Amino acid sequence: MVTAIILATDMSKHNKLLSKFTDNVKATLEYRRLKNSDTPVDSLLEEKAFKMDRPHDKRRILKNIIHACDIGNPCQKFENYMYWSTLVSQEFDTQAKSEQKKSVEVTTIFLYKNLPGFYGGQIFFSKILVLPLWEQINVLFKGIEETVENLKMNLKRLEEEKVQATEE
């Protein structure tokens, strides 16, 4: 189980993982609504919904939570987020330059170009990859609203910082 959860942090699996998780969360909400209204529940819906007494559901939820934590740096307070994002950006830039020196295919997205580009990359990463996953976790588990709100505030600040850096 640990191996499967760690492998779920692979970004090449992000879209598939998020899509399936989103479908399961929607099914879970519908299942809960029907169960609370004493309406009969379709067996397909029941199978698709997360139920904590099923080991495979626990595993699917854990995969998504660990993946969300793995990419969850934008959920931190802005100063911590920027500190770690700068370090990661430097690491990626070093990797891309190393690829260039070795004459291998360069992961150009990793090259640091300028501050507006850095902010733009963070906006894309946060808005397209991080936020949708954390929003689904927030739907499934109440009590983490602050994390999602912090992420949204960081996105707003990133957009302001990008504008300011572009004007300089």
Q: What is the pLDDT of residues 60-107, one digit of tens each?
A: 999 999 999 999 999 999 999 999 999 999 999 999 999 989 999 988
Indicate the pTM of the whole model.
0.90
Q: What pLDDT does residue 7 have?
A: 92
In the chain, where the domains are located: 1-70, 73-168
Tokens of 8: 């779920």
Task: Classify 91 as helix, strand or coil.
Answer: helix
Q: With pLDDT > 70 as the criterion, what percentage of the chain qualifies?
A: 100
Residue 54 backbone dihedrals phi, psi, to 5 degrees: -105, 120
Give the number of C-alpha atoms closer than 13 A to the C-alpha of residue 142, restricted to the C-beta side. Answer: 1
57 closest CA partner among 24, 99, 87: 24
Is a pLDDT exceeding 90 seen at residue 109? no
Least confident of 20-34, 94-108, 129-143: 94-108
Task: Classify 77 as helix, strand or coil.
Answer: coil
